[in-house]
Each structure stands twice: as structure tokens, then as C-alpha cells.
Amino acid sequence: MSKPACPMCEMADVLEHAERWECVTCGHEWTGEQEPVEPTVARVVKDAHGHVLSAGDVVMLIKDLPLKGSSQVLKVGTKSKPIRLVDGDHEISCKMDGISVGLKACFVKKA
């Protein structure tokens, strides 16, 4: 029987013990009979006022934001085209004034 990959980090560096497997990379331990069940938690993104945002919403800036690498500034009250929620440091990807921008949810409110 070949060694299974770690269910957490998917690396193949695992140690076989008498009743369990152990990942060398992340330290996760599991038994061979059962697959670990991870609860899938839906990511919730909230605007500056606590309203839940979803893909397709239109948002408005609550603060002047200077654009990095440019002398341009996005002004308070600028509305976006419909947004997309993305993973990473900036939760929102959208277009404002014809410019594609990534925004943090704490600088916008639902329009």
C-alpha cells in the first residue's frame, strides 16, 4: 500500500505509525480508515457599516483613496460597477471611473 497524501496540506511526506499517519510538513495526524471532515465555512464580507456584501452589489467609497503608483485619487461617493468578491488582502474587485481596482471592504458601503 502506498503512502497517502496529507489531507490538510496535500504533501506526500508522511510518517506511518501503528494506528495513524502523520504529516512531516504540517504535523497533521489522521487515521487510515476515516477521512477528516472539515466544515466548509462560507466567507462573509461586510462593508464599513456591517452590511453583508455579495457578488454583483454596487458599492460607494466612504473615504478618498489615492491610487498607488499614480497621482489620481478616487473621491468619496464614487460608485462602482457590480463587484466581485475575491480572496486575499483586498476583498473586492471592481471598476471605478473606468479603472479596475481592488478594495478593502472597510472603505466602502453598500449603495
| pLDDT given at position 36 | 46
Nearest residue to 97 (alpha-carbon basis) of 53, 48, 54, 61 = 61
Overall fold of domain 1-34: N-terminal domain of TfIIb (2.20.25)
Residue 3 near residue 14, CB atoms below 8 Å: yes
State the pLDDT at residue 39.
58
The per-residue pLDDT string of the chain (111 residues; one tens digit each, 9 = 90 and over) reads 577 888 878 788 888 888 888 888 888 888 866 554 555 667 899 999 999 999 999 999 999 999 988 899 999 999 999 999 998 889 999 999 999 999 999 999 998
Q: To the nearest 5 percent, what fractions of the chain are helix, strand and coil? A: 5, 30, 65
Homologous superfamily of 45-110: SH3 Domains (2.30.30.40)
Domain boundaries, the chain: 1-34, 45-110
